[in-house]
Amino acid sequence: MADLKIAPSILSADFARLGEEVAAIDKAGCDYIHIDVMDGHFVPNLTMGPPVIKALRGCSDKPFDVHLMIDPAAPYLADYADAGADIITVHAEADIHLHRNLQVIRGLGKKAGVSINPSTPAAAVAPVLDDVDLILVMSVNPGFGGQSYISSVTPKIAEIKAMIGDRPVELEVDGGVKPDNVAEVAAAGANVVVAGSAVFHGNDYAATIGALRDAAGG
């Protein structure tokens, strides 16, 4: 799949050199910079907030793909928009007013995304298909990098792809995606893949990004 977009997750980057790491994956040919925001409540980890994203904004012109694994998300949407997010994704399992959050994100001039956890059925995104620019399917339980891909998610990717139909909605998959399984993910219908440890734990970011694209097209 020649048009597969690669979104390295900086959760797996060297935090002591985060700005350099963002610049490096930009130079290596990534399409998006995937930024995982965790609150220690909705998921069992704490990561970065708006000040860190704002500090990184000057390190790359690539779209900042900000995945909010926080509950509630509503009070912070404007903060992440102001910090430089281009895509803001909220979880269907968080907050209680999903439509409102998506409307707020678009009202802030950003692309709106919705994410679902591995155990959440595809039907959870059906009510908002016309309100999103991106659907993010988690293929690991969110909270930590370096987990293995949950293969039972693959049919759900295909189901959501069919639900999207001809809508201009991107389908992104996050969790355990590597060159040896990316073809399965792409064949199911994903056009964006998040790769954290697969990219950052290697010595040649460009080679790994290229390998992901090549494997998806094979």
**What is the pLDDT at residue 140?**
95
Whether 174 is catalytic: yes
**How confident is the prediction along the chain (218 residues), in pLDDT tens digits per residue?**
448 999 999 999 999 999 999 999 999 999 999 999 999 999 989 999 999 999 999 999 999 999 999 999 999 999 999 999 999 999 999 999 999 999 999 999 999 999 999 999 999 999 999 999 999 999 999 877 778 999 999 999 999 999 999 999 999 999 999 999 999 999 999 999 999 999 999 889 999 999 999 999 84
Q: Tell me which amino acid residue 212 is.
A: L
**Nearest-10 Cα torsion for 135, 30, 150, 130:** 10
- C-alpha 51: how far from chain center: 19
pLDDT for 1 equals 44
Please indicate whether residue 82 is annotated as part of the active site. Answer: no
What is this structure's pTM?
0.96
Q: Please list, residue by residue across 202-216, b when 16 or more beta carbons sit within 10 angstroms of its beta carbon and e when fewer do.
A: eeebeebbebbbebb
Catalytic residue among 36, 65, 95, 133: 36
Angle between helix axes 205-217 and 18-27 (nearest 10 degrees) is: 50
pLDDT at residue number 208: 96
Residue of 31, 65, 133, 174 with catalytic role: 174
Specify the pLDDT at position 190: 98
For residue 146, the model assigns a pLDDT of 77
